[in-house]
Amino acid sequence: MWAAGFYCIVAGCVMAALAAVPGVIDLFSVVPPASSARQRGYIHGLLNSTALLLFIAIAAYRGGSSVMPNNLSLFLSAVGVGGIAITRLALTTAMPAPASLKNAQWKAGKSRLPTSVSWPTAR
């Protein structure tokens, strides 16, 4: 059972590093500069990088899959998981509603967004 936990930590670290690549690309190519979204992106990246470093340190401290984790590594794992959960909650609840959602036209169903999508047809 402890081996499975160790391998999950390692797999989570690998996947987090892989997920950071499109996140950084989006942050610098799609998100407008000097926006609240850019600021949230920086906070999100910093907190997730910190969590990634924490889990890398936990895996290195354990040293391998055959080693049973001690109380320190279990405590740090709980801190990491709790920190990620709190970060997600804080970043998603702190986001203001877009202006289009506050607009009376949007509420009345008269938004400028298309209601149907027309796909190009082959000729």
Going from N- to C-terminal start, the domains of the chain cover: 2-94
Can you tell me the distance from the alpha carbon of 96 to that of 36, in angstroms, rounded to the nearest whole number? 9
Amino acid identity of residue 119, one-letter, is W
Question: What region does 88 belong to: left with phi over 0, alpha with psi -120 to 50, or beta?
Answer: alpha
CB-based burial of residue 9 (10 Å sphere; 0-12 exposed, 13-18 middle, 19+ buried)?
A: buried
Give residue 30's identity as a one-letter amino acid code.
Answer: V
pLDDT tens digits, residue range 28-67?
998 888 888 888 889 889 989 999 999 999 999 998 888 8
Stated pTM of the model: 0.69
